Chains A and B, each alone.
Chain A
Amino acid sequence: MHCRLNGRETAIACLPGTSLATWLRDQGCASVHKVCESGDCGACTVWVDGEAVHSCIYPAWRASDRTLTTLEGLAENGNLSPMQRAFLDQQGFQCGYCTPGMILTASQIDWQSEADIRRALDGNLCRCTGYQAIVKSIQRARTLEHESPAVANPSPGQPQIGVSLPKQDGPAIVTGQPIYTADWSPPGLLHLQVLRSPHPHANILNIDTRAAAALSGVRAVFTHADVPRRPYSTAGHGEPVPDPHDRYLLDRKVRFVGDRVAAVVAESVAIARQACELIQVEYEILPHTLDPLVAMGDAACELPLFGDVEPGLVPAILHDEASSFQIRDPQRNISGEVQLQCGDVAIGFAEADVILERTYHLPAVQHFHLEPHVCTTWLTEDGTLTVRSSTQVPFHCQRLLADLFDLRRDRVRVYKPNLGGGFGNKQEILCEDLCAFATLQLGEPVQWQFTRQEEFTATNSRHAMQIRLKVGAKREGTFTAMEMNAIANAGAYGNHSEQVIFLTGSFPLGLYRCPHQRYCGRAVYTNTMPAGAFRGYGATQGVFAMETLIDELAAELQLDPLELRRQQVINEQDEFLIGRDEHFHIVGSAGFDEAIAKVTQALGYQPHQAPKITGNQRRGLGFAISMQASGLAKIHLATVRLSLQGNGRYEMRAGAVDVGTGSDTTLRQIAAEILGTTVSQIDLIAADTQETPFDAGSYASATLFISGQATEKAARALRDLLLANASSLLDVPVAQLELVGDRLTAANGSSLSLTDLADQADEKILTVEEAFAADHSSLTFALLGVEVEVDLETGRVDVLRCAQALDIGKAINPRICEGQATGGIVMGLGYALSEALQWDEQGQILNPTPRTYRIPLAKRVPPLDVFLIEKADPYGPFGAKGIGEIGTNCAAPAIANAIAHATGLRLRQLPMTPERVWTAWQAVT
């Protein structure tokens, strides 16, 4: 069998059940991305005889005698196709993992209107962009056919920040270069797969691995008997690790359907999978529980607002093993607890004219980053354990592996290539541990890549929560007391839970001026997939409760909901009271008045506006605000090393992790601004424990705020150093020297090129390294307004318009900021309307595929207006603040409030599916 692949005659030789996607990847076509492998996401799109198909569901053998084109073959004679150029021009990507499929699909769409484009993208999922930049790219391709894009990069000396520079990895993304973790591996690669538990809770009595080990091509089978028993946490946090140490490489007990039972290392994924099926396990089934309230037993009713809950017996203790530690109360399955307080809520409620108390139910949802968890581990010649991984936290991963296997840290190298999205799920160390163990045992390179099913069933989710919130207010709208209790389902392991529930209370409560506040959050073990870090990190859940209740309160008090918020929200004059001893949050700037003006204008909103009613269709407007901190003060450390190289170019080494958002570009913009150069003159080496200095990693919206300030410090130090050197070489005072582009020029006209300077100075001397940890973490604020249409007959909700204003201090790269905002809104839209992991009574996830777990499609997303409010923040680099997470938080409450405006229905459970809306409507009619 032969085919023509990207113009070359190629023989097809593979197993008969191989998909075309796999075969193409084996041929070196790294642009073919396998995401769902079920035909639902389009990331694997290629052309067969000129027609776009999903190669993951196309039999490789059927490609015989056909002409195949992958993204690698799209450019003709090195000239990018108009669609590729358009995606570059409009930056129709963030992480770029969906981009090859998008470009090959988009090139075949026949469209008249934007709606045509959005419909035609039914088979293409993107989790980063919110689709807006993709749609714009496709539109742009038409006008670009005959012109080339005008790339207006600023020259040296011109401002480098505040400019929408293209992401520097764009050309590699639109041409499908092998830039992601799985796109390269050392020769002789073995593959790891694990057998996962079919039971929610069981002891492993016996494992028979003989048949598996005997299968040809199997190199090793590991069970709990083969691995060191050492408790750890998968949460990627810095030292001292605050999280429960309750995980083991492989354990004698399984605690959720999908938990690891045994691992197989084999010569191919297929063999490893087959071997897993051959492992015989004898289980002792234990009672299990899926409900955190039940799991706590008699502790369930301890929280003030949960007093009505019937206390029961703890049905099953998940972590009764003696070796685990830092668990709050293992006997009652309480993994973590947070109590916060200011003032005295009893006094506050006594002063209130109106008190509302409500209960909210938030589901577990999945990140659905397109690139799965994947890592490759091997030993270098000197015996260094090397880990190439798709991780947000290379340095924390290095520390964990060193601790687990008693290695010196410098004997472990972890680095990440480009990431195809993470959203918090890669702030977890989920695959590197076993993979590294296998390599240490066998001395050979091993790769472990999760399937999409594993992503849905065996990684982490956003925490499902039940939140009870009580707010007291005076008639005129001042708040007298707020009390919130949250019970979070931690799942089978604790990891991030306690930190997550901290934010659930502290951000929503801290957002408003109120003298008496109390919060208690609990994270409770159950026999479900663990919950972990997810963009918004617990604040998302709390914001939903707070923002819908505030809206309800405004209606009760007959106040305009926006005006009420405007008056009560904290500003620069206020202190962030609740939880301040622990997190050092600060309001450096807040631009609410401007935000309100922009959003109301975009939506044409008037206070006390009536909903629009046409037959069974109702339209209404809703708003929500939220805040999120920029990184973790005192804890989050970032280091940057900057040098002038012999060739006159700069080299920047930063531990910071670009998860696909574009921080590799924005950090260089900061350095370029200070050094009077351009981004293209700065060579970046990033996120490699061996090659770059320490950085805590990409989480908590920290990269720009923290790593950005380290960059700023380093760039200033290098600039000073260069000026000082030039000053002595040219014999001119520093004050009379200017550094612009590749030259240092003195007021008297004499000058020195950077190459000459590098020549004359000792190279080591022209290197600086600066670290930064923030004393305070500045808060970013967001306001979102939406218009929805509700169909009362079916309960279907359509979002018609969205306008979001973000007070971000300063936009270093406005387009990248907008991308974060639109992507965040659309992720929130899914949370609001369609996403939820569902379990059956045995704890088995019922919808572990993108066909049954619905993330938003392009056609569901309305036009999104984003306004970046720039009010420089004194604590951030050039006044900038974090933006990675906040966009997600407002969507669900704004939509719920818009539904309330349209229909009077108050929905307190997510997602607001058509059935839930319809059922609520039945209850009132």
Chain B
Amino acid sequence: MDLHSIETYLRPTDWAELTAWQPDWAWLAGGTWLFSEPQPQVRTLVDLQALGWSELAIAADGLTIGATCTMRQLLQADYPAVWLGIEALRNAVRELASFKIHNEATIAGNLCLALPAGTFAPALVALDARYEVWPHGGEPYWLPASAFQLGARQTVLQPGDLLRRIHVPAAALAWQTSYQRLCVATAGIALAIAVAAYHPATQTVRLVAGASFPQPRQWEFFAPLCREQITTALAALPLTDFIADAAASAVYRRQVLGVLLVRSLSDLGLLSEFEPISIHS
């Protein structure tokens, strides 16, 4: 929609140009979210596109995704066959929206929005990703994906800070993954997302939950697992940790999260009916 309050549109071609930052400025990456709601508090858009940060680099040490890399780029690139984990990222794209949104929307933009139902955050947490942040007027630093989102619509980023790139290590990309999601209707905002990542050599299983909590949560186990381990892990959490809103209650979110976690395990052939071996973490 038209953003009636915008007075200035900046299109820097060099990061160094951006010496100032005002509270009523906003980064414009894909724009697919920014232009989808009124933004009465924003007066200046800072378009990132001309900075040339849309890299999608495939290297021996892993995958690097630039600040303005679109979902389509991620979906369509060719990856080494051993990178089984890519499937989780591809699913995160497919589950998000129409292919026309993929043409414009960026992965980094989706992470910065920090919607609880964001489709990428749980996948990137499961794949041990690290993010490079360029703070406004400060030194760039890296942090793990799991430390980035602090709550619903809340990240470590301060005004003017930028999520410059995402790095997914090759080791994690070799893991097998399963991605599960459930909405009230066939599509829309998820009530629960479950991502399972499995490392056969160490028998480690990492489970990450999205959409059920304000930010992704993770557990680690050794394979194989049984249903009760999932139930126990979820039952250990206070019900108030789960989101309750007009779309669904906390009780129901907990239920479907459990179901999706179990389904992700069975998808990877990791579900056994045996007694639990041990709970790791």
Contact = CB atoms under 8 A, between A and B. Distances in A.
A binds B: yes
Interface of A: 15-19, 22, 34, 37-40, 42, 45, 51-54, 56-59, 61-62, 105, 108, 120-124, 269-270, 273-274, 277, 451, 793-794, 796, 833-834, 838, 840, 846-847, 851-852, 854, 856-857, 859-860, 913-915, 918-919
Given A274-B4, A851-B188, A52 B103 contact: yes
B115 to A, nearest CB: 11
A16 B45 contact: yes
Contact of B184 (A121, A793, A913): A913
Given A39-B32, A53-B103, A57-B35, A794 B45 contact: no
B47 A918 contact: no
Q: Which of B6, B9, B36, B256 has the most CB of A within 10 A?
A: B36
A794 B28 contact: no
A834 B47 CA distance: 37
A845 to B, nearest CB: 10
A16 B7 contact: yes
Interface of B: 1-9, 11, 28, 31-37, 40, 45, 47, 49, 97-101, 103-104, 182-189, 191, 246-249, 252, 255-256, 259
A466 to B, nearest CB: 20
A61 B9 contact: yes
B3 to A, nearest CB: 3
B100 A273 contact: no
Given A51-B103, A58-B35, A913-B184, A18 B2 contact: yes
Contacts of B40: 277
Contact of B186 (A40, A42, A124, A857): A857
A793 B35 contact: no
Contacts of B252: 914-915, 918-919
Contacts, number: 148
Contacts of A840: 246
Nearest to B30: A57
Contacts of B247: 852
A18 B186 CA distance: 32
B37 A17 contact: no
Contacts of A833: 185
In the complex, the 9 A-B pairs of residues with the closest C-beta atoms, listed nearest first: A123-B98, A17-B6, A17-B3, A16-B9, A854-B185, A37-B1, A57-B35, A834-B185, A38-B36
Contacts of B5: 17, 274
Contacts of A51: 100, 103
B99 A52 contact: yes
A383 B255 CA distance: 66
A19 B97 contact: no
17 contacts: A16-B7, A16-B9, A17-B4, A38-B1, A39-B97, A54-B32, A57-B32, A57-B104, A59-B9, A59-B28, A108-B99, A838-B246, A857-B187, A913-B184, A913-B248, A914-B252, A918-B256
Given A794-B256, A856-B185, 19 more contacts: A15-B6, A18-B2, A42-B100, A51-B100, A52-B103, A56-B35, A57-B36, A57-B104, A58-B31, A58-B35, A59-B45, A61-B11, A120-B98, A121-B98, A123-B101, A854-B184, A857-B185, A857-B187, A914-B191
Contacts of B189: 851-852
Contacts of B2: 15, 17-19, 22, 37, 269-270
A62 B11 CA distance: 10
B52 to A, nearest CB: 15
A38 B188 CA distance: 13
A17 B185 contact: no
B102 to A, nearest CB: 9
A833 B187 CA distance: 13
Nearest to B70: A51
B104 A794 contact: no
A915 B182 contact: no
Contacts of B248: 913, 915
A54 B100 contact: yes
Nearest to B49: A62
Given A852-B189, A915-B252, A16 B101 contact: no
Nearest to B248: A915
Nearest to A101: B100
Given A62-B49, A270-B2, A794 B36 contact: no
A122 B97 contact: yes
Contact of A45 (B34, B47, B100, B183): B100
A851 B36 CA distance: 10
A19 B98 contact: no
Identify the interface centre among A39, A273, A274, A840: most chain B CB within 10 Å of its CB.
A39
B4 A270 contact: yes
A52 B97 CA distance: 13
Nearest to A860: B186
Contact of B35 (A19, A45, A796, A834): A19
A277 B36 CA distance: 20
Contact of B97 (A123, A794, A915): A123
Contacts of B184: 834, 854, 913-915
A899 to B, nearest CB: 16
Nearest to B40: A277
Contacts of B34: 57
Q: Which of A34, A59, A269, A838 has the most CB of B within 10 A?
A: A59
A277 B40 CA distance: 10
B99 A56 contact: no
A72 to B, nearest CB: 19
A62 B40 CA distance: 21
A39 B36 contact: yes
B257 to A, nearest CB: 10
**Most chain A beta-carbon contacts within 10 A, residue among B8, B9, B45, B49:** B9
A52 B1 contact: no
Nearest to A839: B246
A313 to B, nearest CB: 29
B94 to A, nearest CB: 9
Contact of A123 (B31, B100, B246): B100
A292 B148 CA distance: 46
A62 B31 contact: yes
Contacts of B3: 17, 19
A820 to B, nearest CB: 24
B194 to A, nearest CB: 12
Nearest to B7: A16
Contacts of B47: 59, 61-62
A40 B189 CA distance: 12
Nearest to A41: B98
A538 B85 CA distance: 52
Nearest to B182: A794
A58 B36 CA distance: 9
A827 to B, nearest CB: 14
A56 B187 contact: no
A15 B6 CA distance: 8
B179 to A, nearest CB: 16
B6 A53 contact: no
A273 B31 contact: no
Contacts of B31: 57-59, 62
A16 B103 contact: no
Nearest to A798: B186
Contacts of A52: 99-100, 103
A914 B32 contact: no
A479 to B, nearest CB: 36
Contacts of A53: 100, 103-104
Nearest to B42: A17
A883 B4 CA distance: 43
A796 to B, nearest CB: 7
Nearest to B245: A846
Given A18-B2, A38-B1, A919-B252, A54 B101 contact: yes
Nearest to A616: B259
Contacts of A913: 184, 248
Nearest to B188: A854
Contacts of B249: 915
A39 B6 contact: no
A34 B3 CA distance: 14
A39 B101 contact: yes
